Amino acid sequence: MDERFTLQFDNTYTRLPRDFYTRVRPNPLRNTHLISFNSKAAEMIGLDCAITRDQSLLNALAGMELLPGMDPIATVYAGHQFGTFVPQLGDGRAILLGEARNHLGESWDLQLKGAGITPYSRDGDGRAVLRSTIREYLCSEAMHGLGVPTTRALCMFGSDEEVYRESIESGALLVRMAPSHVRFGSFEFFYYRGQHDAVQQLADYIIEHHYPELAQRTNKYTALLKTVIASTAELIAQWQAVGFAHGVMNTDNMSVLGLTIDYGPYGFMEAYDPGYICNHSDYYGRYAFARQPDIAKFNLSCLAQTLLPLIDRVPEAAAEQALALLSEFEPLFNKHYETLCRAKLGLQQSQLNDHTLYASLLTLLDQNNVDYTRFFRALNRFTSDKRGSNAELRDMFIDREAFDRWAKQYRRRLVAESSIDSQRKTYMDGINPKYVLRNYMAETAIRKASEDKDYSEIDRLLNLLHTPFAEHPDMEHYAGEPPDWAHQIEVSCSS
């Protein structure tokens, strides 16, 4: 292996008892080939594009061989799936190779998704298909480009192996990166088995490696819960602000570090719809867009339940403290969300009626079937001059007079803080993205890759989504109205 690409690997999770994981070797796909390498993510562990000429490292990332320090495992966890507790889940198609440490001393899990059967695969085949791999590869980077905390994607591999889902598809492999892949469900697994010592060991592990500042707190477990509540509130506020729907907010898909994790049937809203359901398998709309804050609080309550024995020996006292902390979620979420909404409107100051101004706008967008991302990008060019028509914005609405009434209130609000149009536009261009990963964009890349083995669209979109606030003249069509066929796309848990 080229010395330039020597990575220091460790796997601190294996210092925990064997109940937490199972050692397992990746099962390589047949005739694996590199599809895309993400140089932006690679920089975090000191790699550059020249890695693609280092066959030894590529073989390790494809699950074909191990490098010194790698200690591959599959971790166990439980979870509330669509509200129902499932006592044992785990990494059914993901294998953690270990942690790569960068020059700053930061550690990043390298996890192979689609690397074969593990003890937690249940009836699954341990594989990932090209379709879902492309979707996660692109969306994790799209979220990072938008400034939303997320797992990252280092690279993806294709293969000649056939995998059966609803039909025969090509097998693929994603190399995913995160500071940690520990989930709410990791705590649930041990709590509901009555293994409270294991819950404490896991909490201590998270504090030691990710929240060391909490170690000296009077009650570090209460502090841990408080920290996770705060990071989750901020994360969900960011989801709502960019119009992102996760699709499967089970507790096993919630990170204790406040990261977006496990991209399956996600979707960025097109026409604004608070009832938007991006997951075709979500028959009752449990994870509809507007319900995400409530679901996050429910998931946090599940996590809080597991920490009760650590918070206080007296159950009633522990429950009282946990409920007090959980009551902070809503005001924290509202604080972050209202700050983001104010920024999306280009407002620099806080005034009492700002929430009403934003809420009434969302109602108008909903009633008039207006594209969420395109509207806010166009709002950047709003003129506060009474003589200005704002025709571009006005023509997005069926009820133009209703928009005029809202625009009058908005203009008055801008004047109240002496907003200058040119300065506000510059500010808002960094807040309201021009591009988000719409499902049809991912579908375009998937079709080219699946039907023609043409992977160029993946890299084109990756470059676009890394800088979604910038102008990309050669990709302008992705900022326009989605094509008619886009409305026929359905994604489900198999995606």
> Model confidence over 95-128: pLDDT tens digits?
999 999 877 778 999 999 999 999 999 988 999 9
Out of 164, 184, 204, pick the residue that ends a domain. Answer: 184
How many domains would you assign to the chain? Answer: 2
In a domain, 229, yes or no: no
> Where in the sequence is the domain holding 417, given as residue range(s)?
347-429
Helix (H, G, I), strand (E, B) or coil at 54: coil
What's at 334, amino acid-wise? Answer: N
- 309's CB contacts (< 8 A; 6+ apart) are 191, 196, 199, 200, 318
> Model confidence over 12-45: pLDDT tens digits?
999 999 999 999 999 999 999 999 999 999 999 8
Alpha helices in 75-217 (DSSP H): 130-145, 184-191, 196-210
In a domain, 357, yes or no: yes
Average pLDDT over residues 67-94: 96
Residue positions counted in the chain: 495
Structure token digits, residue 487: 């409305």
Out of 412, 429, 446, pick the residue that ends a domain. Answer: 429
pLDDT beyond 80 at 339: yes
Q: Percent of the chain beyond pLDDT 90?
A: 88
Sign of the dihedral through C-alpha 127, 132, 138, 142: negative
In a domain, 178, yes or no: yes
d(CA 363, CA 255): 32
pTM of the predicted model as reported, rounded to 2 decimal places: 0.96
Out of 399, 429, 459, pick the residue that ends a domain. Answer: 429
Confidence of residue 492 (pLDDT cuts 50, 70, 90): low
Q: What does the pLDDT read at residue 490?
A: 76
pLDDT beyond 70 at 1: no
d(CA 36, CA 172): 12
Q: Tell me the backbone φ, ψ of residue 351, rounded to 5 degrees.
A: -130, 160
In a domain, 38, yes or no: yes
- Contact, 230 vs 280, CB < 8 A? no
In a domain, 298, yes or no: no
Active-site entry in 10, 71, 125, 252: 252
The alpha carbons of the chain give a radius of gyration, in whole angstroms, of: 23
Q: Is 252 a catalytic residue?
A: yes
Tell how far CA 54 is from the center of its chain. 30
Of 130 and 495, more confident? 130
d(CA 381, CA 424): 9
d(CA 91, CA 122): 10
> Model confidence over 343-390: pLDDT tens digits?
999 999 999 999 999 999 999 999 999 999 999 999 999 999 888 789
- Contact, 383 vs 390, CB < 8 A? yes
Read off the DSSP letter of residue 258.
S
In a domain, 473, yes or no: no
Q: What does the pLDDT read at residue 475?
A: 95
Q: Percent of the chain beyond pLDDT 70?
A: 98
pLDDT beyond 60 at 5: no
